[in-house]
A = this chain, B = another copy of it.
Amino acid sequence: MSMTPQVRQILANYESDNPGSKANLARILLQGRLGGSGKLVILPVDQGFEHGPVRSFAPNPPAYDPHYHFQRAIDAGLSAYAAPLGPLEAGAATFAGQIPLILKVNSANTLTATKDQAVTGSVRDALRLGCAAIGFTIYPGSDQAYAMMEEIRAMAAEAKAHGLAVVIWSYPRGGSLSKEGETAIDITAYAAHMACLLGAHVVKVKLPSAHIEQPEARQVYEKQKIAVDTMTQRVAHVVQSCFNGRRIVVFSGGESKDLEGIYKECAGIRDGGGNGSIIGRNTFQRPRAEALAMLDMIVSIYQGKAYNTDANKKLQAVPGHAA
Seen from chain A, the residues whose Cβ lies within 8 Å of a Cβ on chain B are 2-3, 7, 11, 13-27, 29-30, 48-49, 51-55, 58-59, 61, 64-66, 74, 84-98, 107, 109-114, 116-122, 124-125, 127-131, 140-143, 145-147, 149-150, 153-154, 157, 161-163, 172, 175-177, 186-187, 189-190, 193-194, 196-200, 214, 216-217, 220-221, 224, 226, 237, 240-241, 243-244, 246-247
Contact = CB atoms under 8 A, between A and B. Distances in A.
Contact of A130 (B18, B153, B193, B200): B18
26 contacts: A2-B98, A7-B97, A14-B89, A15-B91, A16-B19, A18-B18, A24-B130, A26-B98, A48-B194, A52-B186, A52-B193, A53-B240, A54-B186, A54-B237, A58-B226, A64-B241, A85-B199, A86-B198, A87-B197, A109-B140, A111-B140, A112-B175, A118-B147, A125-B157, A128-B162, A162-B162
Contacts of A109: 140, 145, 190, 194
Given A3-B98, A22-B97, A65 B112 contact: no
Contacts of A141: 111-112
A89 B17 contact: yes
A96 B197 contact: no
A7 B119 CA distance: 32
Given A54-B226, A193-B48, A116 B18 contact: no
B26 A97 contact: yes
Each complex incorporates copies of this chain amounting to 5
A114 B49 contact: no
Given A2-B74, A116-B146, A93 B216 contact: no
B52 A190 contact: yes
A118 B53 contact: no
A150 B15 contact: no
A275 B131 CA distance: 26
Nearest to A108: B146
A1 to B, nearest CB: 9
Nearest to A117: B146
Nearest to A213: B111
Contacts of A98: 2-3, 26
Contact of A172 (B59, B66, B111, B153): B111
A37 to B, nearest CB: 15
A54 B20 contact: no
A32 to B, nearest CB: 11
Contacts of A241: 53-54, 64
